Structure 1
Amino acid sequence: MRRKLKKKMLRVTLFLFILGLISGSSIAKTVNNGTTHKKRITVFLAGDSTVSDYSISLAPRAGWGQVFNRFFDEKIVVKNEASSGRSSKSFIDEGRLESILNQIEKGDYLFIQFGHNDEKIEDPTRYTKPHSTYKSYLKQYIEGARAKQAIPVLVTPVERRSFSKGGIARDTHSEYSTAMKELGLEENVPVIDLTSKSKALFQVLGPERTKDVFLCLEAGENDNYPNGVQDNTHFQETGAEMISRLLIESIEELKLEPLRNHIFIYGDKYRQE
């Protein structure tokens, strides 16, 4: 009788032990997948060639979106959907915005930078008028992001490399930049004024030093450009990083949370607490 009782108690004890292991494992799984690990935030980029990714065959050419992920910790995923030659209009017409909206989720960000190709009045597939159609197309990005409970951020177009004979940096996107800032106020959307910030940077650097920002190479300097290149619109990788830093500064200034809480620069915290 005692032997049977002992066996029964042993079976009960073993059952409770196994149940405890299973329960503990389930709890740990729940904690690891939910409570202690917050969902990653994805930052989607919609833009043109100044934002785009480029293959190694075109190096050192790079868009600022190509290096933007370097400035965040592992909780931020940057998904660069920018594409060369696109305007706010053609990006939508080609279904590229729709593709982003099919992926974007609550709490994600949508950074929107257009202007370079919206200015091409000779091309009706891309041209938009700054204070009318440009704003109406940009509004579709804003409304689409908000419908998915994501956060839209407008980015005014980065300046081209253009100086007067006296070495003064020129405005190259003034109407489009102004229109985007107006829309930001109208729609209560944060605006990163990359136009002003990049112009100020280029003014400090001057006509010669900005050649290191843009894709300006002498013949024989790089195997990918044996005849050299003088491109005053697109960046070298070092220039793309400099532009990305301007965006990071703006994220701090605008206090875009929670995004700003995940800013790092090569492993070092960008913002000192």
Structure 2
Amino acid sequence: MSLTRRQTAAALLALPLALSATPALAHGGGGGGRPRPRTLHIAGDSTAAQKYAGAAPETAWGMALPFFLGRALTVANHAVNGRSSKSFIDEGRLTALLDGVRPGDLVLIQFGHNDEKTEDPARGTDPYTTYQEYLRQYVKGARARRAEPVLITPVERRRFAEDGTAKPTHGEYPAAMRALAAEEGVTLIDMQALSLARWQELGPVGTEAYFNWLEPGESPNYPDGKQDNTHFRPDGAVDVARATARALLDERVLAPRDLRRLDDPVPAAWITWPQA
């Protein structure tokens, strides 16, 4: 692929987000003299990505995160279904994301689910070599733009042993990300550990309402029903988004004034799925 084509692809990838961000940016800088809102840029996979009408009620935590942020913060969700730390970069998506990053912004980086697919050369990575090497590119890119990178270990799937114990499913990838965060001095949100503890608390039955488990006929998008142990319904996405917001506060990445509703209900009805 030539450089010109790569640049063109990156520009096309960035266009929808740039257009959607324009009204928010208009409130900062310029004639009003007020500071530009800070943006939280999400790099990730289907557990974070925007879902559209054809996938409802499947929901991702990136869709629910804005409910917990104050007006001075906005979200640019670049996460895409099926991407790994490697394929996100190879497709030019990190370049597109970084083009919109400004000093003071945050870059939230959550990969792992698809890095584990080592049988796929386009996506698979090795935890302590290529996975860390790709993650470093996100960290360096954010820091080069005077933004703060935040590494987020992959949220856990719904897996239980016969005795009802929630089981980890991500192998060495969370540990590799923890090690990288320590080495590079990057803020880490250990969502793998947080979500595993949450699924244990809810148990095998309680977690069904959090994941995209549907009875036949319950949703027109899934007429035969669905038993998805990776992707969320609104309640699960809201729970993970709330935990993410709390962790950003606990790690002092965000201040109390930056957040809202951490202890208040966020109804599932607030989630919407736009047309693709």
Query: Is the shorter-chain TM-score for this pair beyond 0.5, marking a shared fold?
Result: yes
Pair 1:246–1:47, CA change in 2 (3 A)? same
Which consecutive aligned stretches of 4+ in structure 1 deviate over 6 angstroms post-superposition?
none
Determine helix, strand or coil for the equivalent of 2:230: strand
Residues of 2 paired with 1:86 and 1:48: CA distance?
Answer: 5
- Give the structure with higher Rg (CA): 1
Task: Determine helix, strand or coil for the equivalent of 2:128.
Answer: coil
Unaligned runs of at least 5 residues, structure 1: 1-29, 269-273
- Separation in structure 1 between the aligned mates of residue 98 and residue 55 of structure 2, nearest angstrom: 29
RMSD: 1.7
Q: Distance in 2 between matches of 1:235 and 1:228?
A: 14
Conservation of the 8 A alpha-carbon contact between 1:159 and 1:199: yes
Please say if 1:228 is aligned against 2:225. yes
CA distance in 2, matches of 1:205, 1:139: 35
Aligned partner of 1:264 in structure 2 is 260
Contact in 2 for aligned 1:46/1:81 (Cα 8 Å): yes
Residue 82 of structure 2: which of 82, 85, 89 is its match?
A: 85
Q: Is the 8 A contact 1:70 1:266 kept in 2?
A: no
Deviations 1:40-73 (A, max 9, x none): 0010000000000111221110110011111111
CA contact (8 A) 1:52 1:63 kept: yes
**TM-superposed deviation, 1:266:** 8.6
How big is the shift at 1:31? Answer: 10
Q: 2:139 — aligned with what?
A: 142
Identity %: 45
What is the aligned length?
Answer: 236
The alpha-carbon distance between structure 1 residues 123 and 261, as it changes in their structure 2 partners (threshold 3 A), is same
Aligned with 2:196: secondary structure? helix
Matched, 1:240 2:237: yes
8 Å CA contact 1:51–1:82 kept in 2: the answer is: yes
| CA shift in 2, pair 1:87/1:76, >3 Å | same
Structure number with the bigger relative contact order (C-alpha 8 A, sep ≥ 6) is 2
1:205-264 CA-to-partner distances (Å, cap 9, x unmatched) read: 000110101000110112221110000000001110011111112112111135x53101
Matches of 1:105 and 1:267, distance apart in 2 = 30
How far 1:32 moved relative to its partner?
6.5
Distance in 2 (CA, whole Å) between partners of 1:176 and 1:266 is 29
Tell me the equivalent position of 2:43.
46
Distance 1:77 1:193 in 2: 22
Is contact 2:153-2:174 (8 Å) kept?
Answer: yes
Q: Hey, what does 1:112 align to over in structure 2?
A: 109
Query: Residue 208 of structure 1 aligns with which residue?
Result: 205
TM-score scaled by structure 1? 0.83
Q: Distance in 2 between matches of 1:126 and 1:240?
A: 24
